[in-house]
Structure 1
Amino acid sequence: MDTLAEHRRRVAALQHVQAWPQPVEQVEVIETHISTVLLGGDYAYKLKKPVDFGFLDFTRLGRRHYYCMEEVRLNRRLAPHVYVDVVPVTEDASGPRLDGTGEVADYAVKMRRFPQAALLGNRAQRGPLEYDLIERLADKLADFHAAMPIATDPLYGAPERIGQRALENFEVLERNFTGQKQVARLRRLRIWVQEAAQRLAAAFARRQREGHVRECHGDLHLDNIIAWDGELAAFDCIEFAPDLRWIDTANDIAFTVMDLHFRAQPVAAHHLLNAYLERSGDYNALELIPFYSVYRALVRAKVDTLSLEKHCGTLETRQVMLEERVDRYLALAEYLARPDPAHLVITFGVAGSGKSTAAQALVERFGCIRLRSDIERKRLLGFASHAHTDSPLGGGAYTHAHTQQTYARLRTLAEGVLSAGFVPVVDATFLGRAQRRRFAELAEARQAGFAILALEVPPAQLRLRVAQRRARGRDASEADLSVLERQLQQRELLDAGERERTIVVPAQATDPAD
């Protein structure tokens, strides 16, 4: 059994460039509570500290080797170009060496070194994260979750364990916060978590039965995600505690959404959640997103508090630090726990009128959930969102029967979004009055507000937009000029009652890309 003293001696020796297998000019060291990372030249070597915290035990060489292997295996799923191998740390008469030939004293995870500017956490400090980057991240995480194995252990994702784990965060927080405001906030949050865990118990169990508890990343905050070398990658997943990794996919994505909010990136947070749902089709996850977002905020608050307990000497200093950073997480948790006012929005407009652009604006500004007919129509037939069905006018994916089926699915999804406490924006043509009426009736039944976004664009401009979009070929819509002409002929204009609940969006307010 190794000691921390031996680990520190070994790390000090490995800071000499002669101990490295490739030429380096200098060696930098980064420490966490469970590992030490040595950085030199193009590579980084990560050694696990021989510590035992109960939830992990790295005190024996065999265990450190096993978890190094696990770290590489698991992280190659989302960062294959970062994780190189597991190499021995050897010792001979000349001292410790990385990937040497002497007796094995320890093991290290060898990684390609990336610039700190590549971290999304650092990029977020420099300004708003780019639209395309968030879109790519959503696609990558949705595809990752879809490919991961489904949990077979009934303890993973069990409702009682989810509630228990969420409530455990309060033990650390409540012993550190003494201010009246923070104590009251913690009391409100504890009550909310207890009630939400009970209310959602059936949903947790259903998600477990339906196969949404999978081998996820487990630690998807922005400082574990990089945009580097032309790739997006998530690294440093949880390898040491399987129950923190075998979780609901909603739990995994909620961490990233919460962290974007914390870093004052609400537009990116709203965009990421919507793009992830569109890619995955897992709109049932929405019911759990507020709970898991609050849970993740509480976890980060606890982690920061534990760090302050260790490094801040006086209680007074600790209280100042708690209020400056940790209380921000608690305030965010309260914000994320509040449901949106009940509203349902639909669009009204032919191809090229800017429906998707208008709906996306509501997503980014207000956190609405966009439900797009172009995507759901294809999903019902097993097509990817940007695939072409090669359907003839009025045939294939665009028969009357399949259109009715598509609108029925959109209505079901909208009802689920309302139940989850979010505002659905249904992005479809809604050319028929009967189609619009069914959604108005849904809003009335759910005691929700109802609004129609009417997109008004001159026919000549519509034709230009549709032609340009078809030429680009990057949109989910398959509408061409023949579809547009048919829609212009068949649309049923808004009646007087509908116009009272209509917001007119002029042509100049929507992007030609629709």
Structure 2
Amino acid sequence: MPVPRSPDLLRQQQLVDALCAPGYLPHRTKLEETHISWVLLAGCDAYKIKKALDLGFLDFSTLEKRQFYCTEELRLNRRLAPELYLDVVTIGGSPEQPVLGGEPAIEYAVHMSRFPRSAMMDSLLADGQITAAHIDKLASSIARFHAALPPAAADSPFGAPAAIQGAALENFAQLAPSLAAPADLALLEKVSAASALEFAASEPLFRQRKADGCVRECHGDLHLGNIVLLDDTPVPFDGIEFSATLRWIDAISEIAFTVMDLLQRGRPQLAWRFLNAYLENGGDYSGAGVLRFYLAYRAMVRAKVAAIRANQEDAAQAQQEMMSCRSYLALAHDCLTRRRPMLIITHGLPGCGKSTFAQIALERLGAIRVRSDVERKRLFGLDALADSRSQTGAGIYGEEATRRTYARLHDLARGLLAAGFSVIVDAAFLRYTERENFCVLAREIKAPFVIASLQADEKVLKERLAQRLARAADASEANAAVLQTLQAAQEPLQEGELAAAVTFVNDGDADALRATVDKWASSDARLTGR
């Protein structure tokens, strides 16, 4: 049953009804309502009014607080969506006869540019209109956004283990009263216990990440329902203004929301693509150590929101919301369930399709890729697409630089495997010692080990290298001269390596390669556990 409304909410409802009356605004007004606000849609404009509520995790109970949080909403969301957030407007007059822009203010509204519901990413995803390019754009923009934010002060409470634990415990405490079925309560208890164990294991890393500046004033609510496609570019909006604690967070907590949302919507390939693109852009691979906790935390946030909505709706809609709540609970439990990770390294000459294979495999298997071309440049302070101006076998491609690059890949792979994630190391691995070092790592971690050897004709290799250099849109700088040098220096797979090796012939047909990878992933006992 809907929750009874307070006198303040009833007065606000009068005001909203008056604003929506025919002829009041220049354009026909449509009303949309969430559990914490009303949004009036009129022509090209939208006006968002906060409900006079105190839900514990937010407090809009007084006019002064609603004014403050309207101003905060404008400030925070202009960082990512300046074209959407216009200003804060007063509403004067009386609830029965309100005056938009009038004084003295009896209410405040955030004035926004209106966009169609059909342009939001959750709707577009359901219609099959979200592409890999959209996901890559989103990951890149969020990585840049996070990189530009100042870190939280060392003496602030934000991002401290106590704050992280408190937010998680609050979700469980606020959700529990909304659950009545024994099965729901039992699952909640399982998730709570698993979350507590994950928190305890991750607590030292939480402290380290706070010290390393990973806690920043983020968007805070980065699920697909808060991202709109404008000019074919994903634009996040509706970030959290009502709680500094919920937005001053580890950047990994931020992107965990998007990953979790894609998983919950049945799009794991896009979830893993987004995660990998974000990590590759920013290099925050150590965040994988806290990702599992945050994935479950974000699922619990959505479970809580669904339960709140269920208490505000009629019986039929409430049932739908509770089904959604249970779905998020199940996902939280799944995210906290650790599985044996695997280690895959690629093998092959420049242009053979190692990165193409790795992209297909990471989406199919649910893995994290580390790429030598990107990490090599990161080691030397270069952007992925920067031209190092190095000669063949010199500069960042010299012997010592290559040794450092493989050492970096080894360290990253070890950390990711220890965090329980399968890893694909995207590098040439043309020397036996390079491959053997990773084989030893897999044995130490007790992870299945695969050498994915990519093959292509020399003519095809040269054509691809020329095309790639002409596009100037890839981290690799390999050309025909590099190919010739590496062909002469490569060390073939040894007899002892063949058991771990799987050969993929890549003639340029991406669909055929994808089908081959899919068949392999479904049949290789090292991957399936059979």
Which residue number corresponds to residue 229 of structure 2?
A: 227
Change in Cα spacing, 1:128 to 1:499, as seen in structure 2 (3 Å) is farther
Contact 2:306/2:322 (CA < 8 Å) preserved in 1?
no
**TM-score, length-scaled by structure 1:** 0.93
- Partners of 1:265 and 1:378 in 2: CA distance: 31
Instruction: Give 1:389-468 correspondences, 5 Å limit.
Output: 389-468=388-467
Please identify, of 105-114 and 502-511, the stretch whose mean Cα deviation from structure 2 is larger: 502-511
> What is the identity, as a one-letter code, of the residue corresponding to 1:483?
V
Is residue 321 of structure 2 the alignment partner of residue 327 of structure 1? no
**C-alpha separation in 1, matches of 2:330 and 2:444:** 33
Q: Give matches, 1:150-165, under 5 Å.
A: 150-152=151-153, 153-165=155-167
8 Å contact from structure 1 (residues 373, 407) kept in 2:
yes
1:267–1:71: structure 2 CA closer, same or farther, 3 Å change rule? same
State the Cα distance separating 1:341 from its structure 2 match. 1.8
Percent identity between the aligned chains?
Answer: 42
Partner residue of 1:251? 253
Q: Cα distance, 1:55 vs. partner?
A: 3.5
The question of whether the paired residues in 2 share the 8 Å contact of 1:2 and 1:59 is answered with no
Distance apart, 1:369 and its partner CA = 0.7
How far has the Cα of 1:335 moved from its partner? 1.7
User: Are 1:388 and 1:478, in contact at CA under 8 Å, matched by a contact in 2?
Assistant: yes
Amino acid at match of 1:166: A
Check if 1:339 corresponds to 2:341: no
What amino acid is the match of 1:68? C
SS of 2:242's partner is coil
Specify the alignment match of 1:139 in structure 2: 140
Measure, in 1, the Cα distance between the counterparts of 2:258 and 2:107: 33
Amino acid at match of 1:130: T
Three-state SS of the structure 2 residue aligned to 1:226 is strand
- Seen in structure 2, the aligned counterparts of structure 1 residues 209 and 93 have a Cα distance that, compared at 3 Å, is closer
Counterpart CA distance in 2 for 1:229 and 1:76 is: 17
Q: Which deviations, in whole Å up to 9, do the C-alpha atoms of 1:304-330 show, x marking residues without a partner?
A: 11222333559xx96x54663222112
Task: Choose from 238, 241, 244 the match for 1:242.
Answer: 244
Matches within 5 A, 1:52-451: 52-91=54-93, 95-100=97-102, 102-127=103-128, 129-152=130-153, 153-312=155-314, 321=320, 324-451=323-450
SS at match of 1:310: coil
C-alpha distance in 1 between matches for 2:462 and 2:447: 36
Q: How many angstroms does 1:455 deviate by?
A: 0.7
SS in structure 1 of the partner of residue 112 of structure 2: strand
Read off the aligned partner of 2:93 and give its amino acid letter.
E
Question: 1:186: Cα distance to partner?
Answer: 2.2
Q: Which amino acid aligns with 2:51?
A: K
The aligned amino acid for 1:490 is A
The alignment partner of 1:271 has SS state of: helix
Which residue among 13, 18, 24 is the counterpart of 1:13? 18
Are the aligned partners of 1:354 and 1:510 in contact in 2 as well (CA < 8 Å)? Answer: no
Answer yes or no: is the 8 Å Cα contact 2:307–2:322 preserved in 1: no
Contact 1:19–1:96 (8 Å) recurs in 2:
no
1:503 alignment counterpart:
502
Give, as a single letter, the amino acid of the residue that structure 2 aligns with 1:84. L
> What letter is aligned with 1:73?
R
TM-score by length of 2: 0.91
Letter matched to residue 500 of structure 2: R
Equivalent in the alignment of 2:9: 4
SS of 1:505's partner is strand
- How far apart, CA to CA, are the structure 2 residues paired with 1:510 and 1:404? 33
Distance 1:243 1:184, change over 3 A: same
**Partner SS for 1:200:** helix
The residue type paired with residue 146 of structure 1 is A
The answer to whether the 8 A contact 2:139-2:277 is kept is yes
CA RMSD, 1 decimal: 2.3
**Which deviations, in whole Å up to 9, do the C-alpha atoms of 1:422-468 show, x marking residues without a partner?**
11110001111111111111111112121101011111111111111
Q: Which moved more, 1:263-272 or 1:226-235?
A: 226-235
Residue 186 to residue 5, structure 1, CA distance change in 2 (3 Å): closer
Match of 1:478 in 2: 477
Within the candidate set 37, 40, 58, 1:38 is matched to 40
Q: Is the 8 A contact 2:134 2:233 kept in 1?
A: no
The 1:49–1:408 alpha-carbon spacing in structure 2 relative to 1, beyond 3 Å, is: same
Deviation at 1:51, TM superposition (A): 2.7
For structure 1, the 5+ residue unaligned runs are none
Distance 1:169 1:65 in 2: 27
Distance change >3 Å, CA 191–CA 227, structure 1 → 2: same
Please give the alpha-carbon distance, in whole angstroms, between the structure 2 residues aligned to 1:196 and 1:93.
50
1:156–1:246 Cα contact (<8 Å) kept: yes
Query: Partner residue of 2:526?
Result: none
Return 416-425 or 182-191, whichever deviates more.
182-191
Q: 1:311 is paired with a residue of what secondary structure?
A: coil
Question: What's the offset of the Cα at 1:390?
Answer: 1.6
Cα drift, residue 13 of structure 1: 2.1
Alpha-carbon distance in 2 for matches of 1:179, 1:97: 47
